Structure 1
Amino acid sequence: MPTPSAFAKHWFASRQWKPFPFQKEVWAAVKRGDSGMLHASTGAGKTYAVWFAALQRFAKSGPVIPKGKRKPVMAPLTVLWITPMRALAADTLRALQAPVDELQIGWSLGLRTGDTSSSDRAKQTRRLPSALVTTPESLTLLLARDKACEELSSVAMVVVDEWHELIGNKRGVQLQLALARLRQWNPQLIVWGISATLGNQAHAQEVLLPGQPSVSVQGAQAKTIEVDTLLPAAIERFPWGGHMGLRMLDQVVAEIDGSSSCLIFTNTRAQSEIWFQAILDARPDWAGIIALHHSSLSREVREWVERALKQGQLKAVVCTSSLDLGVDFLPVERVLQIGSAKGIARLMQRAGRSGHAPGRASRVTLVPTHSMELVEAAAAHDAVAQRRIEPRESPEKPLDVLVQHLVSMALGGGFLPDQLLAEVRTAWAYRDLSDDEWQWALAFVRYGGHSLTAYPDYRRVEPDEHGLWRVPDARLARRHRMGIGTIVSDASLQLKYWSKGGGGRSLGSVEEGFIARLKPGDGFLFAGRQLELVRVEDMTAYVKRSTAKKAAVPRWNGGRMPLSGELADALVAKLGAAARGVYDSPEMRAVRPLLEVQQQWSALPSETTLLAETLKSREGWHLFLYPFGGRQVHLGLGSLLAWRLAQRQPLTFSIAVNDYGLELLSATEVDWATQLDPALLSAQGLLEDVLASLNAGELALRRFREIARISGLVFGGYPGSQKSTRQVQASSGLFFQVFKQYDAGNLLLTQAQEEVLKQELEVQRLEQVLAQIANRQLDLHAIKRPTPLGFPLLVERFRESLSSEKLADRIRRMVGDLEKAAG
């Protein structure tokens, strides 16, 4: 049996592996007691770099068997391994378990996520394992136990896997607060972050290890990522977004047929359902060897797919971001991406699912759903080669997360305010938390703030006779534990097969808003099956198999991802090159007919020009503007321009946006050549004008719904009696109005407005886009008919007012007319 210092040497030698220098560097750093960040490409051996570092520092050789005992005593909880996804957690546990078993190390390993069974939870309540793989939410639940200090003070090392997936959201902030608590109990705590795709590594390290001496370890040489594109047989010169790209089905099927095993990534759950069914319809003989994977499917289905994929039993899996991260699927030969990935980091992450082993190349094939995505594909190829990866930044001072944390800590043994304040300020997100903000948060959890003092349900925490702040009410404690976390989505209904004796097998979940539009007998597609709604009862939709030809497809929230700034810049560079007659890739040569029509009728955008087009039609006076700032930025910019123009003369506009540009349409004549002056596109007074230009109150209310749930103002209900989305929204709306009227200084209202600006409208990026515009020359063209770039914006606007059948008819007629004009 090897000594602890030889664990890695023995394990690697038994497999005829040779450790990489970066793995040895991590082992040496942890041996010295250093914390740090490991940056390495997917499949490079990051997991074993950090895991063997932990084993060699903290584990002992062989299990310890006390005298007179038969069973060995396992080490107490020593390592917490934090993962952002449940699927990744189960796979990580398997990877960590293998060397522990082979080397006969006296450690027990366990899993603690939302999928953990009640029996496993009960075992962990009696004794936690030596190493626990868990999520940020489950870690906070452990910290909210009355004996949390006693149970978790033995933790000597925390590993945060896929840190890049957590840093930019409130889940990452929740984890920052949890780490602050663990460091309070063990100042010598070693913390390591693992990341594959980050454009701002120094910031990521500072957020995870604020103010601490730490090391940064770079992995082996950059992994080879091969990016190619499936070129369509014919090019649409007037493309439009919103369809699923199924015209590429035959080519995709041929690619799957020629591969031993592949993943087909889509950007939405609805798209994955449609593509899975289409592939199965095209190749019925593949039933049983192709599968579907997304987060709304039941745990049993997801685990079966992951297991079968690892064992090489599946030819293809159609999936969403549910399989983006670190799950080790060695048999996967290649990856197909349906539609644009919209970001370089996301594309590289997905590519890394293939060739998931050191030294093996990863291959991703892009499948454009419309012609302009060929330019995105060419741009993505260049950006991946140059490793132009998007940065991700931590939110600052989200008070809804802080309020939730206060109640959790009151449950976890109680807290003294001054001590907890010092602890909270060691978390990067709250390093600048003011005394006034802290006092507001304390008052909020104690009384509910100024406007809720009369309601007992909002007196969640109060000091005892020793000054220790605790939760005095068992009912409120139970309610809080059920609401811990920062992932907020619309209420979901469980889907179960209908049976006379009661509910049958569970299929997964679907958002309440979709089911609310169906009546019994209506058909829909889910989990690759044609289903028919039988009845809805107690937040459960009962279904049965259907043979109906026509079926709806559930639409989940979070569908449209905006184009990243890095990909947008690469895209404009490709268009600028085409304007100069350079078509230097298969994708650009394929899309040349479209770009040549654009150039003949108007112009192509470039790095030094801002393209604008004006058109007079029967509908009115159109402006098409192409900043390439992404959908959310264009929404803010369109509203800003419309508002500023209306200040000059009485005008009303309809607005349409996509990732490339925006359209403003006025029924009243507008002299666009005169109006498009530097003042209209200036960043001066941006914040005030954006807030004035939008229905900022409605946007803030939408953000406040999420904030109300995270902060514990609104309770979603107990299992089996959840509140409907409408009830939760009504409750949130009532609080919003009460605070506005009676408690205008409530900091949650301020937070809602800030989140609208930062997240929904991306004001910082809008400011950057306006700065770019100021440095570009306006290239204004009066056009006779919609151009290939303008046509998709018309379709976006029509989509709001026409049914899908009428929209398809109108698009068909318009494309026919435009193609005729193009010759």
Structure 2
Amino acid sequence: MTRKEQIEIAENWFLKQDWKAFPFQKQTWEAFLQGKNGLLNAPTGSGKTYALWLPIILQYIRSNKDYKFKHKKGLKAIWITPLRALSADIQQAAERVAADLGTLMTVGVRTGDTSSQERAKQKNNMPDLLITTPESLQLLLATKGYDKIFESCSAIVVDEWHELMGTKRGVQMELSLSRLKTVAPKMKVWGISATIGNLELAQTVLLGHNTEALNNSVLIKAKINKKIKVESILPEKVDSYPWRGHMGLHLIKEVATIIRGSKTTLIFTNTRSQCEIWFQALLDKYPEFAGEMAMHHGSIARETRAWVENAIKNEELKVVVCTSSLDLGVDFAPVETIIQVGSPKGVARFLQRAGRSGHQPGKESVIYFLATHAMELIEASALKRATKEAIVEDRIPYLNSYDVLIQYLNTLAVSNGFDSKIIYDEIKATFCFQSITPENWQWILNFITNGSQSLEKYDEYKKVEIDENSLYKINSRKTAMQHRMQIGTIVSDAVLNIKFVSGGYIGFIEEWFAAKLRKGDIFIFAGKKLEFYAIKDMQVYVRKAGPKKTAKTVSWMGGRMAFSAQMSTLLREELYAVNHNSLSPELLALEPVFTRQKLESCIPNENEFLIETFKTREGYHTLFYPFEGRFVHEALASIMAYRISLLSPITFSLAYNDYGFELLSDQEIDLQLVIDNNLFSTSYVHEDLQQSLNATEMARRKFRDIAIISGLLFTGMPGKFIKTKHLQNGSQLLFEVFRDYEPDNLLLQQAYIETFEHQLEEGRLRQALERINSQEIIIRKCQKPTPFSFPIITDRLREKLSSESLAERIAKMTASYLKV
């Protein structure tokens, strides 16, 4: 069968579905059947799945002429998905093509949700097409004889590559691919990505640094003009002094109107707590939505989430309040409208969510942006422009993630064992470990066999042994079992299942929240009011609470999201536009804010950097406006405070948000003096960061995750997890041992590198300082707080006051400041 005949089969199959193949789908079929590797970039809902399932199955047909009658057993292709929730749709697509083309191919799923019986069945008889996650793939590599399982595999597809790249799961995937390329030499590697800026780099990271796979590869970009309609939900009135705090609930009436006018609506929130609050608020205010509305987030029971997903498909629900748990690929054709509550802090995330609406080729996506406070309307305007101009963030890949490498080597040692020379050559070809030195490699081998220099007296850290064939192996059954249970790179606080005293599982909450509950406390979870009864065997037992009792909403760690670099740039450009009168509807709505800002201070131009000072009864306020995002501002505020204190002894209180930061002191700063003394210098940034922030404490916290991923700490057996505080104590002890006795320990060094590069974003901080140095410094001595400063001040007050007293205080402050 010629390649032309194969492609005709694919085109005819499309015609039978009443579809017409896009050029990018034909290009992918052609490239795959030519034996090429590649990365496919296409928008959500454009048919990416069929672009690769079809040639995979056509290749099998070509290699087996009697495919309709004789079946060649063995694994033929692997499809990697970052989310278990996507596997059902991917499986349906594969089964549909395999059956329609008359093959006898089987399709299987292997994720954390797969039953032990199904796994045992797969061990003896693998499906032809396997859908799995990065973690489950590593578990297969931890199986004895894995090389025999994978040797017949001719293709691997990594779906949603943009979600994995730039994370340690992405590193885990790079390492898996490095091994599979050797075990299955005929295997083609393909990635699928929707929203990503640096596509060429993404292709290199996926296929390997300077590898044969990369040299024989293509990058296919779908030229589809996906229509995305972005509408902002504008408030009737914008306060001159904007402040945070309403969760956007003041616009609940407008949201209800959109819901009623749409067949199906997804309301995206940024955190699980916000999801719970919005669901409850809609239900309380509009009880008629009961029965037509559901909630979906990652802590709700899997069965409930699956029911919600099916109910959307079957058009049984009118509205679902959700989080990023519904960001990706589940095929929701009926969804008509998306509402984004609060800024998603990034263009890619916004586009991904917009794509959930009109999730079919040629359909328009409709997304409404609901600003939770006035200043977010600037972000709404920036996102609108980014959507129009197709501006998307880059993803920055990890380098030298030694904790992931150590876990991977233990995985290979648990199964067949590994030859250090072969594996070194393989990992050296990955993007992440392209610069690994023979000395680093030897240190890692010593670490897994002897527990590193400072732990060599303790047998529990000597996990790997070298046999007579020079293979590195784990022979201890206990060590092997513990390792298999802890494979993965997602580290979070321990979670406890929530169960009714009368029976029935609801979901899970984090240990730190559960630890604060007392018997009789009421909290809201999954839209239900629950009364806490007891914690036993890592289970939180609850009863249904009465409707009249007041309740707290469950909260989770890690709620704050950071601005991307592209989003920061867009935000500044929108703000500069205010001075040129080229205003979007969102910026026009902010006219009262801008008018008052110009009256009290100014709005900077692109070549200006604004600093404001004023005095209140709290002290002397100095505010800086880099518009670089909260995380960069946290580091910048600390550096500025430290550098000023070097010139004269002074103590500061720091506050920051996404737009700027505040230094509050009991004495006035001579700003011109400190600016003239290299306040914004890019020299000694790293050293000043170490001095101004407790970098050691931050690295110590980061080290806990590294210790868990590398297997230095064991998190416990199922149902008997080790408490978070005990893990923290254990990791702190190891950190201090390495710091005091083994400062060149690679894991210790990694903790510091990740703290500066990923948490404090030192690279972006340097770029911000370089930009400020190139701008004219505008110092405005103001009589009172300005609209730009007001959200930062109220954010600081929120930490001290209850919501009621905060609202009263802000009302008084606003009335006072509005007096001419």
Asked if TM exceeds 0.5, the reply is yes
The CA distance in 1 between the partners of 2:54 and 2:520, in whole Å, is 56
Matched to 1:556, the amino acid is W
**Any conservation in 1 of the 2:197–2:394 contact (CA below 8 Å)?**
yes
In structure 2, the residue matched to 1:138 is 136
SS in 2 for 1:36: strand
Residue 497 of structure 1: CA displacement? Answer: 1.0
**Any conservation in 2 of the 1:63–1:105 contact (CA below 8 Å)?**
no
In structure 1, the residue matched to 2:433 is 430
In structure 1, the residue matched to 2:408 is 405
Deviations, residues 749-768 of structure 1 (Å, cap 9, x unaligned): 10000001011100001111
**Any conservation in 2 of the 1:36–1:191 contact (CA below 8 Å)?**
yes
Cα distance change, pair 39–755 in 1 and its aligned pair in 2 (3 A): same
Deviations, residues 733-756 of structure 1 (Å, cap 9, x unaligned): 111111112222211110000001
In structure 1, the residue matched to 2:225 is 222
**Any conservation in 1 of the 2:340–2:368 contact (CA below 8 Å)?**
yes
Matched to 2:166, the amino acid is G
Residue 223 of structure 1: CA displacement? Answer: 1.0
Give the alignment partner of residue 440 of structure 1, picking from 437, 440, 443: 443
In structure 2, the residue matched to 1:89 is 87
Q: Unpaired runs of 5+ in structure 1?
A: 67-71
Residue 692 of structure 1: CA displacement? Answer: 1.4
Map 1:241-390 → 2, pairs under 5 A = 241-390=244-393
**Any conservation in 1 of the 2:7–2:29 contact (CA below 8 Å)?**
no
In structure 1, the residue matched to 2:13 is 11
**Any conservation in 2 of the 1:390–1:566 contact (CA below 8 Å)?**
yes
Map 1:398-547 → 2, pairs under 5 A = 398-499=401-502, 504-547=503-546
The CA distance in 1 between the partners of 2:140 and 2:245, in whole Å, is 43
Residue 74 of structure 1: CA displacement? Answer: 5.8
Residue 678 of structure 1: CA displacement? Answer: 6.6
Residue 384 of structure 1: CA displacement? Answer: 1.4
Residue 188 of structure 1: CA displacement? Answer: 2.8
Matched to 1:737, the amino acid is E
Residue 285 of structure 1: CA displacement? Answer: 2.1
Deviations, residues 597-626 of structure 1 (Å, cap 9, x unaligned): 011100113322111101122222211000
Please, which moves more after superposition, 142-151 or 169-178?
A: 142-151
In structure 2, the residue matched to 1:740 is 739
In structure 2, the residue matched to 1:577 is 577
Cα distance change, pair 63–559 in 1 and its aligned pair in 2 (3 A): farther
Deviations, residues 635-655 of structure 1 (Å, cap 9, x unaligned): 110000111111111111111
Map 1:744-763 → 2, pairs under 5 A = 744-763=743-762
**Any conservation in 2 of the 1:6–1:56 contact (CA below 8 Å)?**
no
**Any conservation in 2 of the 1:78–1:156 contact (CA below 8 Å)?**
yes
Give the alignment partner of residue 241 of structure 2, picking from 231, 238, 242: 238
In structure 1, the residue matched to 2:568 is 568
Superposition TM-score, scaled by structure 1 size: 0.96
**Any conservation in 1 of the 2:150–2:184 contact (CA below 8 Å)?**
no
Matched to 1:240, the amino acid is W
Residue 346 of structure 1: CA displacement? Answer: 0.7
Matched to 2:15, the amino acid is A
Matched to 1:116, the amino acid is T
Residue 6 of structure 1: CA displacement? Answer: 4.4
Map 1:612-691 → 2, pairs under 5 A = 612-677=611-676, 679-691=678-690
Q: Unpaired runs of 5+ in structure 2?
A: none
Residue 282 of structure 1: CA displacement? Answer: 2.1
The CA distance in 2 between the partners of 1:271 and 1:350, in whole Å, is 17
Cα distance change, pair 514–62 in 1 and its aligned pair in 2 (3 A): farther
Matched to 2:404, the amino acid is V
1:40 aligns with 2:28: no
Map 1:21-170 → 2, pairs under 5 A = 21-59=23-61, 73=71, 75-170=73-168
Matched to 1:29, the amino acid is A
1:802 aligns with 2:804: no
Superposition TM-score, scaled by structure 2 size: 0.97
**Any conservation in 1 of the 2:53–2:97 contact (CA below 8 Å)?**
no
Deviations, residues 773-819 of structure 1 (Å, cap 9, x unaligned): 1111111101111111101111222233334444333223223323x
The CA distance in 2 between the partners of 1:175 and 1:479, in whole Å, is 21
The CA distance in 1 between the partners of 2:433 and 2:74, in whole Å, is 31
SS in 1 for 2:393: coil
Cα distance change, pair 754–811 in 1 and its aligned pair in 2 (3 A): same
Deviations, residues 220-256 of structure 1 (Å, cap 9, x unaligned): 3231111110111221222223441111111101101
Deviations, residues 278-304 of structure 1 (Å, cap 9, x unaligned): 111222222222111111111101111
**Any conservation in 1 of the 2:337–2:367 contact (CA below 8 Å)?**
yes
The CA distance in 1 between the partners of 2:89 and 2:605, in whole Å, is 45
The CA distance in 2 between the partners of 1:452 and 1:99, in whole Å, is 54
SS in 1 for 2:418: coil
**Any conservation in 1 of the 2:75–2:150 contact (CA below 8 Å)?**
yes
Matched to 2:20, the amino acid is K
In structure 2, the residue matched to 1:69 is none
SS in 2 for 1:75: coil
Deviations, residues 363-394 of structure 1 (Å, cap 9, x unaligned): 11101111111111111111211111110021
Matched to 1:224, the amino acid is K
Deviations, residues 153-211 of structure 1 (Å, cap 9, x unaligned): 21110101110011111000000000000001123320111111111111001111122
The CA distance in 2 between the partners of 1:809 and 1:448, in whole Å, is 58
Map 1:697-776 → 2, pairs under 5 A = 697-776=696-775
**Any conservation in 2 of the 1:572–1:605 contact (CA below 8 Å)?**
no
**Any conservation in 2 of the 1:714–1:732 contact (CA below 8 Å)?**
yes
The CA distance in 1 between the partners of 2:145 and 2:37, in whole Å, is 27
**Any conservation in 1 of the 2:647–2:674 contact (CA below 8 Å)?**
no
The CA distance in 2 between the partners of 1:803 and 1:247, in whole Å, is 19
**Any conservation in 1 of the 2:533–2:541 contact (CA below 8 Å)?**
yes
Residue 565 of structure 1: CA displacement? Answer: 2.1
SS in 2 for 1:669: coil
Deviations, residues 571-620 of structure 1 (Å, cap 9, x unaligned): 2222212123x152221111111111011100113322111101122222
Identity of aligned residues (%): 45
**Any conservation in 2 of the 1:277–1:528 contact (CA below 8 Å)?**
yes
Please, which moves more after superposition, 326-335 or 87-96?
A: 87-96
SS in 2 for 1:676: helix
Q: Give the count of matched residue pairs.
A: 811
The CA distance in 2 between the partners of 1:718 and 1:701, in whole Å, is 25
**Any conservation in 2 of the 1:383–1:566 contact (CA below 8 Å)?**
no
Please, which moves more after superposition, 802-811 or 635-644?
A: 802-811
The CA distance in 2 between the partners of 1:720 and 1:374, in whole Å, is 46
The CA distance in 1 between the partners of 2:67 and 2:199, in whole Å, is 41
SS in 2 for 1:558: coil
